[in-house]
Chains A and B, each alone.
Chain A
Amino acid sequence: MRRDLVLRVASKFILPPIMLFALYVQFHGDYGPGGGFQAGVIAAAAIILYGLVNGLARAQKMVPQALLEVLMPSGVLIYAAVGVAGLMTGENYLGYDHLAHDAVHGQEWGVFLVEAGVFLTVFSSMIAIFYAFAGRRRS
């Protein structure tokens, strides 16, 4: 598998379009199908593809395990912090109406930040799960 030239070159070419598509799905989620979950899974799939073809060590050089362990909780924390920010501005928990100068802009900010938090957690959790399976030796 490691030596397969076609797969390695093809995976290198296909990696940037997949990442770009993930970003598109993330930021265009308000206007078309998509959002944090889908973007997170698609971006994770790009890294997993790279890891499957080029080996775990190369993938871990690109996205280190330590980074994943920081990103996993930070996504949930961003989400929860947006809720607390809603409380601070005199709304309910996870109420976004007062986050900006009017309700619609506040909602857009709230949804954007929440989706970013979802993206971080889903992306890093999926890759961490893949690393855990790929890094274990056969018994």
Chain B
Amino acid sequence: MMDPAFAEQAITLVILLLLAAVTVGIVRVRGLFAAVVLLGAYSFLMATLFVVLDAVDVAMTEASVGAGISTVLFLGALYLTDTKEATGKARELAPLAVAAITAAVLIWGMSDLPEFGSADQPIHAKGADYLARSLPDTGIPNVVTSVLASYRGFDTLGETTVVFTAGIGVLVLLRRRSGQGKS
């Protein structure tokens, strides 16, 4: 029988490698249709990784939003615009330098980050202990739901408002006016 902690690490590593491969594909591919479909695959891989990281609510959201709705929206936008992108631009060196410097700085700052998957990190030791409080306070076993809707209700109110605002914005920008003729 394989040690579960070892299995979790191995699966995480494999999915991270696959994610990196898909990312290289997205960066290199020319043509927007392929990039959008690869982004859908990327989102599904990300959702799988979230399941391994025990974030089941986030995985569900990523699979339905990232791989489902956003792919449909991208394809709708491509239908309304164009699936070809211009090729042969000289801008290659400067972005690469910016990306490399950013990566170097981030890796340099990485040395202080805690170990993967260990229970004695500050994130688990400090802060409000929602895991212990959820059942006595609210009677809800899914702690993510109780934190989302009760302890941090203000965040979620703001988030709902953002979704509403985005919907209004899209309607205002894309609504056909009756007098507007199309050429």
Contact = CB atoms under 8 A, between A and B. Distances in A.
* Pair from one complex: yes
A19 interface: no
A13 interface: no
A96 interface: yes
A80 B144 CA distance: 21
14 contacts: A30-B145, A30-B146, A33-B60, A41-B65, A45-B68, A104-B139, A107-B138, A107-B139, A107-B146, A108-B140, A124-B167, A128-B171, A135-B176, A136-B80
Contacts of A134: 76
Contacts of B59: 33
A73 interface: yes
Given A79-B157, A83-B157, A121-B160, A111 B149 contact: yes
A33 B149 contact: no
Contacts of B79: 138
B139 A108 contact: yes
B57 interface: yes
Interface in A68-110: 69, 72-73, 75-76, 79-80, 83, 93-94, 96, 103-105, 107-108, 110
Interface residues of B, number: 46
A35 B160 contact: no
A33 to B, nearest CB: 4
Specify the main secondary structure of chain A where it touches its partner: helix
Interface of B: 56-57, 59-61, 64-65, 68-69, 72-73, 76-77, 79-80, 137-142, 144-146, 148-150, 153-154, 156-157, 160-161, 163-164, 166-168, 170-171, 173-176, 182-183
A93 B153 CA distance: 9
Nearest to B169: A129
B164 A34 contact: no
B148 to A, nearest CB: 7
A96 B141 CA distance: 17
B137 A107 contact: yes
Interface string A25-46: 1000111111111100110110
A53 interface: no
B176 A129 contact: no
Contact of B149 (A44, A45, A110): A110
